[in-house]
Amino acid sequence: MRGLRFVSIARYVPEKVVTNDDLSRIVDTNDEWIRTRTGIGERHFSEGETAVDLCVGAARLALERAGIAPEELAGCIVATCTPDHASPSNACLVQAALGLPENIPCYDISAGCTGFLYGLETVRGMLALEEKKKYALLIGCDQLSRVIDMTDRSTCVLFGDGAGAAVLTLEDRLWHADLGSRGNAEVLWLNGPGPETTYIHMDGPGVYRFAVDALPSCARTLLDKSGLTLDDIDWIVPHQANRRIIETAAKRLHAPLEKFYQNMERYGNTSAASVPIALDEMVEQGLLKRGQKVLAVAFGAGLTWGGALFEW
């Protein structure tokens, strides 16, 4: 099967760290309340940086690690639900900032927190049609600090800013994907561009019910497609939204929690950046090695879900 190989991976987060104690001075909450319900201890908020700045920071490092020139890219895709503008897209502004070729497609996709997984399949299709260039740049980035209501303790404690970028190429290798959506604007939504104040709106219990069903279901579908079992999988890399969601998904899969990589304690929920940030951190820590089998799964606004099973 023609699948994607991660040539490189990189992350970029703002320098400013906001702890649970910091939030307790703004809204009625405390460190113990947040940690026990979410597993989150701190997150990064932008100060004077745009979402494009975050994209560029991650993308530049990914290109350096890949050792390829911008001219070798067949396209640039940014997965985001918080672009700097309705138009132009973040991807077009990344193209200008990094001096990417002008004769390649650059565009954003919106699938909420599942965006990076949707982007992987989009890149795979793009490269399958490409005749000359072998590589594509995929960025997952969200700047959620500017769309959270700091008076709403049920949401403001959850989210952070960040970007993760990957340089990808197409080869004959293990690859299975599963994407889906269930149209719903009541459980999780964000106003579009306009004069009204734009905040994330979330029905927490509704999101939880959806997530603990979608994550294990997607994982089972990928295992069925591949003919593999959980014992064959080295790492499960889930969307880093909430520790309780991951713990419940693990129980429903009858999988050891140790197989699920978790880093929400340091970043919070960074939406489309969540999975690539986790992958980069795993490589940095020496946990993720070439040849290991990875099952990445996510869920997000839409409602969307998605997963990919691949060899690192």
Contact assessment for residue 54 and residue 162, using Cβ atoms and an 8 Å cutoff: yes
CB proximity list for 150: less than 8 A, separation 6 or greater: 26, 27, 156
- Can you tell me the distance from the alpha carbon of 299 to that of 303, in angstroms, rounded to the nearest whole number? 7
CA dihedral sign of residues 158, 162, 163, 164: negative
Asked if 269 is an active-site residue, the reply is yes
158 and 212 housed in the same domain: no
49 and 132 housed in the same domain: yes
Q: Which residue segment(s) compose the domain that 256 sits in? A: 175-311
Token digits for 239? 């969307």
Contact assessment for residue 192 and residue 81, using Cβ atoms and an 8 Å cutoff: no
Coil, strand, or helix at residue 14? coil
207 and 83 housed in the same domain: no
Asked if 239 is an active-site residue, the reply is yes
- Can you tell me the distance from the alpha carbon of 293 to that of 214, in angstroms, rounded to the nearest whole number? 21
Instruction: State how many domains the chain has.
Output: 2
Phi/psi at 49 (nearest 5 deg)? Answer: -105, 145
In this prediction, residue 195 has a pLDDT band, given cuts at 50, 70 and 90, of: very low
7 and 148 housed in the same domain: yes
CA 165 to chain centre: 10
> pLDDT tens-digit profile of 10-27?
999 999 999 999 999 999
- Can you tell me the distance from the alpha carbon of 103 to that of 270, in angstroms, rounded to the nearest whole number? 31
Contact assessment for residue 11 and residue 277, using Cβ atoms and an 8 Å cutoff: yes
- Can you tell me the distance from the alpha carbon of 205 to that of 139, in angstroms, rounded to the nearest whole number? 30
Asked if 113 is an active-site residue, the reply is yes
Q: Among 122, 148, 172, where does a domain finish?
A: 172
Please identify which of the residues 113, 141, 156, 218 carries the catalytic annotation.
Answer: 113
Name the residue type at position 159: F
In this prediction, residue 252 has a pLDDT band, given cuts at 50, 70 and 90, of: very high
Q: Among 172, 189, 220, where does a domain finish?
A: 172
Length of the chain as a residue count:
312
Sheet holding 161-172, edge to edge: 2-12, 161-172, 135-143, 73-79, 106-109
> pLDDT tens-digit profile of 261-304?
999 999 999 999 999 999 999 999 999 999 999 999 999 998 99
> pLDDT tens-digit profile of 208-217?
999 999 999 9
Q: Among 172, 192, 220, where does a domain finish?
A: 172
Which domain CATH number covers 182? 3.40.47.10
Please identify which of the residues 20, 141, 239, 242 carries the catalytic annotation.
Answer: 239
256 and 131 housed in the same domain: no
